[in-house]
Structure 1
Amino acid sequence: MAGVDFDRAPFTIAWEVTRACAFSCVHCRADAQHRRNPGELTTEEGYALIDRLTEFGSPILVFTGGDPMMRKDLFDLIAYADAAGLRCSLTPTATALPTVDRLRRAQEAGVRRIALSLDAPTAEVHDDFRKVKGSWERTMAILRNAREIGLSTQVNTTVTSHNLDLLPDMVRFVREVGAVQWSVFFLVPMGRGQELSMISPEQHEEVFGWLHDLSLTGDFDIKATAAPMYRRVAIQRGAGASVAGAGFATHDGLDRPTQGVNDGRGFLFVSHLGEIMPSGFLPLSAGNVRVDDVVDVYRNHELFRSLRDPGRLTGKCGACEFRQVCGGQRGRAYAMTGDHLASDPACAYVPDGWPS
């Protein structure tokens, strides 16, 4: 899979199996609700979707939400996808649902990794993010339980102005739970996340530099999510201009590609209602799996084709010498400008020849 052609197939597919979730996190992309939507894809429709996804080969299929564990057929869907050759991961919410027994069932069904959100090194700050008292302790307990049963874990942290100064203190907790990857998300102001304060372009740049330094000495992999600019920083620091996904390790158990994954370029999102989108952070629908062929949409729809053509970018991103390896975060550009091909407002870099 490391050499996959992103014009033909995504490397990662996220299926939002439900938007139901007991939490009301202040940065939620999905603006999740407490009850399941009756319009969600059914079990049989889920099986049909999985059958089509195998046309892409063996991409990573992330069962996400909302809280995917609020679907009673979750383990059946995972087992079906695993049997079909897809590499499954799971992003549960830190409620009472991910018990040790259910973690084992997920593992037996075919989940290779679970990812949980830990947004601060203290319960006070994290619980305020999640709006659920005790969620920090529960998250740590689930991560420890997963480690005990041999299930690979990933820690997700969303960076905002509220926790920026706490990032260095997060490192010991990522190590403590034995996470194989720390996925550091950079806020895309959509859903409930519109109410949060995004860090400045200069602060983004400082965090990228710090993360790259950490990546050289850390004992876990680091992924800057919703921040393709990190690849440019890694290249500028000597990671090698010939490596399109510079700064992304490939030894974390899921054989990540050297080419950077962007919205619609190596990434595909299917909503709880079956909408086909470039990502959960770029809520533009190119069709619906109930009536459209998801494979054809990814390969040929104008929206996806435009996202895979760096020559279509405008502003600084269009003039940037790193546009092929970076391309900016398209969801953030859309959220803040209304144009998914505009410059990423979080990037501080000024391309050669661009007016400063």
Structure 2
Amino acid sequence: MTPVDTSERPFVLIWEVTQACELACEHCRADAQPRRHPDELTTEEGKRLLDDAADFGDGQLVVLSGGDPLARPDTVELVEYGTEQGLRMTVTPSGTESLTREAVASLADAGVKQLAVSIDGGSPAAHDSFRGEAGSFVETVRAARAAREAGVPLQVNTTVCGGTVEDLPAVRDLVRDLGATLWSVFFLVPVGRGRALDAIPPERAERLMEWLDEVAREENFGIKTTEAPMYRRVRAQQAQARDGGGAQRRGGITAGDGFAFVSHTGEVYPSGFLPESAGNVREQSVVDVYRDSDLFETLREKDDLRGKCGACEFRHSCGGSRSRAYAATGDPMGSDPLCPYVPAGYDGPLPERQRAATDD
């Protein structure tokens, strides 16, 4: 990612254009529904949001997510409008019958810079079971190939939880075969329907991060983790162990620091997985909310983190998942319970799951 001052602008601005979706995915943050919400932002309100987003600066990345963005009839129009304003527009459609070759071509013609699809299993049975819809795997893979044919860069998103972790090597192979440019590996945060799923334990997460580091060095596609900034710590430690390298660098985002999320009704959150509103785009510019709200400013102060995250020497390059800390404790500045790392000399409280593992 091009370095930016994250106190001034996010790397990524997500706009959840709708909660409507035909799928009933087990992990859905949005708790998506079959029909569109009557109070979601209108086309004109959405264009005003995109106008404001352009004030962040040239080439601001905007992701249209959902639900399923293609459940809105104006998504292609919004992509075209945002592109005209100088925004880098990307879309994360659901793997349904609406994701046709024609729909992909229309998005490409509108100027979409990337298409992101979700693949959570290496086979139709595994993926469709997780997504709650027979045929979703086939539709998703077909759309991924259509994106490649249309010259649109492809990102593959994968959720990591107890029910998907064993399939990750098979998904890795599929990411390679589809010619994706980026694999985004999302570590479950217990919000929405995801509260009913089993997260992997911290020690398993650490081993998985080490495996992802190996994959990143072997494959031609990039890897990023979502809600797992500890991956940056693991990569630095692995580089140090291999060749004495691994100097810490900024190079990432966390909720409210390089990342912002606008809900379908215009609420501005640090992340879709940290549902604490700092304002509404119907009342103020998303730029002002991001730069000046108390919540966003607090989340950018890494030296104010609490618990072992606050004592950690990697707090500026990692910082822990603020969304997972909030989900676990109600405190967005608390420790990330997924990370097993304990800073040298730290003897304070540990997150509940890590403390239980230590006691065992």
Same fold, TM-score > 0.5, yes or no: yes
- Tell me how far apart the structure 2 counterparts of residues 10 and 216 of structure 1 sit (CA, whole Å): 27
Please, which of 255, 258, 262 is the counterpart of residue 266 of structure 1? 258
5+ residue gaps, structure 2, are 348-357
* Letter paired with 2:330: G
Q: Is the 8 A contact 1:321 1:352 kept in 2?
A: no
- Tell me how far apart the structure 2 counterparts of residues 231 and 119 of structure 1 sit (CA, whole Å): 23
1:99 aligns with 2:91: no
- Residue 355 of structure 2 is matched in structure 1 by none
- Residue 40 of structure 2 is matched in structure 1 by 40
- Residue 140 of structure 2 is matched in structure 1 by 139
1:334 aligns with 2:339: no
Please, which of 333, 336, 343 is the counterpart of residue 351 of structure 1? 343
5+ residue gaps, structure 1, are 246-258
- Tell me how far apart the structure 2 counterparts of residues 3 and 181 of structure 1 sit (CA, whole Å): 18
Mean Cα deviation higher: 4-13 or 140-149: 140-149
Q: Is the 8 A contact 2:238 2:246 kept in 1?
A: no
Deviations 1:309-345 (A, max 9, x none): 0121100101101001111001111111111111000
- Tell me how far apart the structure 1 counterparts of residues 279 and 13 of structure 2 sit (CA, whole Å): 15
- Tell me how far apart the structure 1 counterparts of residues 106 and 248 of structure 2 sit (CA, whole Å): 38
Q: Is the 8 A contact 1:227 1:328 kept in 2?
A: yes
* Letter paired with 1:293: S
- Residue 24 of structure 1 is matched in structure 2 by 24
- Tell me how far apart the structure 2 counterparts of residues 216 and 293 of structure 1 sit (CA, whole Å): 41
Q: Is the 8 A contact 1:12 1:60 kept in 2?
A: yes
Secondary structure at the counterpart of residue 225 of structure 2: strand
Mean Cα deviation higher: 142-151 or 225-234: 142-151
- Tell me how far apart the structure 2 counterparts of residues 263 and 31 of structure 1 sit (CA, whole Å): 20
* Letter paired with 1:290: R
- Tell me how far apart the structure 2 counterparts of residues 2 and 232 of structure 1 sit (CA, whole Å): 20
- Tell me how far apart the structure 2 counterparts of residues 98 and 14 of structure 1 sit (CA, whole Å): 20
Identity in percent: 50
- Residue 324 of structure 1 is matched in structure 2 by 316
- Residue 288 of structure 2 is matched in structure 1 by 296
Q: How does 1:75-94 map to 2 (within 5 A)?
A: 75-94=76-95
Q: Is the 8 A contact 2:308 2:335 kept in 1?
A: yes
Secondary structure at the counterpart of residue 113 of structure 2: strand
- Tell me how far apart the structure 1 counterparts of residues 286 and 166 of structure 2 sit (CA, whole Å): 41
TM-score by length of 1: 0.94
- Residue 350 of structure 2 is matched in structure 1 by none
Deviations 1:66-99 (A, max 9, x none): 0000111111111110011110110001111121
Q: How does 1:105-120 map to 2 (within 5 A)?
A: 105-120=106-121
- Residue 253 of structure 1 is matched in structure 2 by none
* Letter paired with 1:349: Y
Deviations 1:110-160 (A, max 9, x none): 111111110011111211111101111111111112112222111111011
The RMSD of aligned alpha carbons is 1.2
- Residue 244 of structure 1 is matched in structure 2 by 249
- Tell me how far apart the structure 2 counterparts of residues 303 and 78 of structure 1 sit (CA, whole Å): 29
CA drift of 1:243 comes to 4.6
Secondary structure at the counterpart of residue 55 of structure 2: helix
Secondary structure at the counterpart of residue 279 of structure 2: coil
Q: How does 1:226-237 map to 2 (within 5 A)?
A: 226-237=227-238
Q: Is the 8 A contact 2:99 2:139 kept in 1?
A: no
Mean Cα deviation higher: 16-25 or 123-132: 123-132
- Tell me how far apart the structure 2 counterparts of residues 22 and 7 of structure 1 sit (CA, whole Å): 37
Deviations 1:219-256 (A, max 9, x none): 111111110000001111227554524xxxxxxxxxxx
* Letter paired with 1:60: L
Mean Cα deviation higher: 159-168 or 61-70: 159-168
- Tell me how far apart the structure 1 counterparts of residues 247 and 87 of structure 2 sit (CA, whole Å): 29
Q: Is the 8 A contact 1:158 1:184 kept in 2?
A: yes
Please, which of 275, 286, 295 is the counterpart of residue 283 of structure 1? 275
